A and B are shown apart, each in its own frame.
Chain A
Amino acid sequence: MIRHPLLMALLRSPSGRIGLGLVLFHCGLALIAPLIVPYDFNAQSEVLDAMGPSLQHWAGLDTLGRDVLTRTFLGGRQALLVTVFGTIMAITWGSFLGMVAGLKGGRLDELIMRTVDTFLAIPFMIFLLLIIASFGNEPLVMILTLGFFYGIGVVRLARAATLDEVVKDYVQSARARGESTLSIVLKEILPNVRDVLLVESAMRWSWMLLAFSALSFLGFGVTPPTPDWGLMIANARIYMPLAPWPVLAPMIALSSLIIGINLVADALAKALGLDRTQARTL
């Protein structure tokens, strides 16, 4: 049993427990879904029509006669793959650049921050769509693009957190010892801004998931017939009054994952004593 203090703090609050449960459930499901789903996600039943829940199909069939439960179980895999690695990339490059800017100061800092300000003005949704339209929607392309755009905001945050640290004695003495920038950033500053970055990664993850599902809702995220929540909702949405189940199942799945991540972020912020009220920038 892992008894990390942070984990214990997270488990102390009820919302943290629920959130962590939801996130772990979804991640676990994404990993084992192909082994446990009852049908082929692309197989059409003889009943080529939307059908309500039955003993054979617990969440019914969609308008093409495919099993909704199977597609819902599989529908988060691409989203999780892209957003988990995208978040790791965003946090890594964003915080590294931010810490260097905060530590170095002067011209370099000025240059980095003005560039960041400019890039924040770029309507990234249009750029995402443009890049995907030109380079395709392979997971790697999506990870790199999302990871790049969502790292811009991290630079600001990491710099602000670093500025609070650089004035402290331990950084001054590391400088006096003549340590390299890289070693100060990684060994001295990183451990002290870790909490801020941890909460930020949870937030970024949930925003990236929102962006990914919006992209796939618009038809840019995955290529059919790959099952994906956003695309399932987009396709089944117009039949909702007649056949609500193919819409409701992916809606519940997507919402529960996003709410779970947010609950974890909130509980983490409370446990670490950081208030989480900054604007949602990018």
Chain B
Amino acid sequence: MLRLIAFRCLFAFATLWVVSLVVFLAVELLPGDACEAFLGQMAQGQRLENCRVEHRLNESAHVRYLAWAEGLAQGDLGNSIKRSKPLENVIGPRFRNTLILGLTAAALGIPLAIFLGVLAALWRDKRADLLISSAAIFFMTIPEFITGTLLISFFSVYLGWLPGIVIMRVDAPISEVFTQIGLPVLTLMLVMVAHIMRMVRTSMIDVLASDFVMMSELKGLSRTRQVLRHALPNALLPAINLIALNIAWLMGGVLVVEVVFNYPGIGRLSVNAIADRDFPLVQALALLMASIYVGLNLMADIATLLLNPKLRTRQGAPL
């Protein structure tokens, strides 16, 4: 058990190492170096030379990769070319904002999705299921920038309930962040709930048709107890990995949602970093997002291992 978990962790680190190589190489292979790209038409003479010296671009690629990787291992991400300050200070507060946004959406969305998924499975092919399922398909397929725009015009322009655009300093206190994120959270939630709900529904339908649920019915258990105690835990187990994959996928959506609502998080930062050609910042952000993906998948793998009774020892669930 512990060996399995250790193996998964090792594999996650190996993946991140390869990703860091790919990210570094990708930027290396682009036409022009980071300084040329950033300075654009002013990229000539002393100015270009200074920039190259400052960001060590005159050294060969493998030396720079090693220096970069060494810095990363020590938590030093390097310097932003555009903002000429340490990347930790640029990314840190924005990462916090994205975390607040994502975690709020997940904390509200996942329970709601499970609830709706179970309802839809119990009322399979009845009117309520058709309603929930078609709404899910609708919100899954419509791009986030369309849902976001429609939500703004309804909730903030027409009803005037929630602020339509986020206006706050990057390092605003958390209490202030929460007054602003109503609509971005709602936009993210709609997509997330739709995806997870569909998975829970399918998995629940499978489990409800299985022998042990039939058995619990024959034992004369109440419907609530059958569903909550016997069917649900078994339906959620296969869904955990899919939920992790989905949350990771949602990061692409976060990028668009942050731009739609002008939210100061890492999604909007990465669009700006690319528009500014600030390659060190782009590299750091790409690696950060890859770590989130790998981390979530690792957590899901471990959770699945821990929850699977087949892997439990006689002493109870190992931790």
Contacts and interface: CB of A to CB of B under 8 A. Distances in A.
Contacts of A218: 255-256, 259, 271
Interface stretch (A23-31, A38-46, A97-105, A254-262): A254-262
A240 B153 contact: yes
Contact of A240 (B16, B149, B246, B270): B149
Interface in A119-133: 119-127, 129-130, 133
Contacts of A241: 153, 157
A218 B148 CA distance: 14
A238 B274 CA distance: 23
Interface in B22-42: 22-23, 26-27, 30-31, 37
A281 B249 contact: yes
A244 B282 CA distance: 36
Interface centre among A119, A126, A134, A213 (most CB of B within 10 A): A126
A117 to B, nearest CB: 7
B101 interface: no
B153 A123 contact: no
A127 B26 contact: yes
B149 A247 contact: yes
Contacts of A217: 143, 145, 256, 259
Nearest to A250: B146
Nearest to A281: B245
B250 to A, nearest CB: 10
A279 interface: yes
B263 interface: no
Contact of B142 (A126, A135, A240, A255): A255
A118 B146 contact: no
B202 A277 contact: yes
Given A254-B146, A255-B142, A259-B138, A133 B157 contact: no
Nearest to A213: B143
Contacts of B19: 118, 121-122
B94 interface: no
A139 to B, nearest CB: 19
B282 A130 contact: yes
A122 B150 CA distance: 31
Interface in A220-248: 230, 233-234, 237, 240-241, 244, 247
Residue from B30, B37, B145 with most neighbouring chain A CB atoms (10 Å): B145
Given A214-B145, A234-B145, A123 B157 contact: no
A275 interface: yes
Given A123-B286, A123-B293, A129-B271, A255 B146 contact: yes
Interface in B49-66: none
Interface in B251-298: 251-252, 255-256, 259, 270-271, 274-275, 277, 282, 285-286, 289-290, 293-294, 297
A150 to B, nearest CB: 12
A260 to B, nearest CB: 9
Given A240-B153, A279-B246, A126 B18 contact: no
A171 interface: no
Which of B23, B141, B144: most chain A CB closer than 10 A? B141
Contact of B195 (A127, A206, A280): A280
29 contacts: A121-B15, A121-B19, A121-B297, A122-B19, A123-B286, A125-B251, A126-B270, A126-B289, A130-B26, A134-B30, A134-B37, A210-B141, A214-B143, A214-B144, A214-B256, A218-B255, A230-B145, A240-B153, A251-B149, A254-B143, A259-B138, A262-B137, A262-B141, A279-B199, A279-B242, A279-B245, A279-B246, A280-B195, A280-B249
Interface of B: 15-16, 18-19, 22-23, 26-27, 30-31, 37, 137-138, 140-146, 149-150, 152-153, 157, 195, 198-199, 202, 241-242, 245-246, 249, 251-252, 255-256, 259, 270-271, 274-275, 277, 282, 285-286, 289-290, 293-294, 297
